[in-house]
Amino acid sequence: AVVSTQSTGDVFVTTGSGKMKESNVSTTVHKRSDEMYSLKMKASRAFFSDVCNRFTMMPFTLRAFEDEKKAKMGLKECVTHELLHPYPVQQDSDGKPVAQFKYTVLVVPNGNIRINGGLFDPSLFKSEHKIEDKEVLALLAQSANRKAGGKKKKKKAKSAAEEAKSEAAAEN
């Protein structure tokens, strides 16, 4: 049996001081919890049933619903009774905008495996800052996948063996 641990990570990026706080902007992204409660309002029951059928345990936005006003009506009772958890909008203490990345990692004996969170492509973003420390650049260039290093070694060994065969064939 393989023993593993699940861990989540939140990465916040800002141009401000780096001290995060919740903004007073209302959030539209929520996630279902494991709590059970019998909702009183018909609109709340219909909304929560729709959430359970369409989104299971994944986060969702209110824009995904046809009638956003009805969704907001049903949302209030669901949040009050902790059936749904809001993802609050974050801002820097200086009022600067914040970008947030979330991901989940499985920690297993032969290495860490990121199981969700999308891929980050730095070529899509421009920055006025650059990493100049050679040690940091070398670390960033390494693969986080433990299997990638083994494949390179095998490829090098295979190509060396093929090269030796071709040299031996050329000599004959």
Between CA 162 and CA 168, with CA 163 as vertex, the angle to 5 degrees is 95
Mean pLDDT, range 25-33, rounded to an integer: 90
> What pLDDT shows up at residue 171?
54
The Cβ-side half-sphere exposure at 119, using a 13 Å CA radius, reads 3
> What pLDDT shows up at residue 155?
59
Residue 52: is its pLDDT beyond 90?
yes
Distance CA 57, CA 11 (A): 21
pLDDT tens digits for 36-46? 999 999 999 99
Place of tokens 């749904």: 84
Q: CB count, 10 Å around CB of 66?
A: 7
Distance CA 124, CA 54 (A): 31
Which of 56-70, 115-129, 153-167 has the weakest average pLDDT?
153-167
Residue 14 DSSP symbol: E
84 versus 26: the higher-pLDDT residue is 84
pTM of this prediction exceeds 0.85:
no
| Torsion of the alpha carbons at 145, 146, 152 and 158, rounded to the nearest 10 | -140
Which of 9-18, 134-143, 161-170 has the weakest average pLDDT?
161-170
Residue 58: is its pLDDT beyond 90?
no
Q: What is the average pLDDT score of the chain?
A: 79
Q: CB count, 10 Å around CB of 149?
A: 11
Instruction: Classify strands 90-92 and 84-86 as parallel, antiparallel or unpaired.
Output: unpaired
Q: If DSSP codes are grouped into helix, strand and coil, which group holds residue 122?
A: helix
Distance CA 70, CA 45 (A): 11
> What pLDDT shows up at residue 95?
80
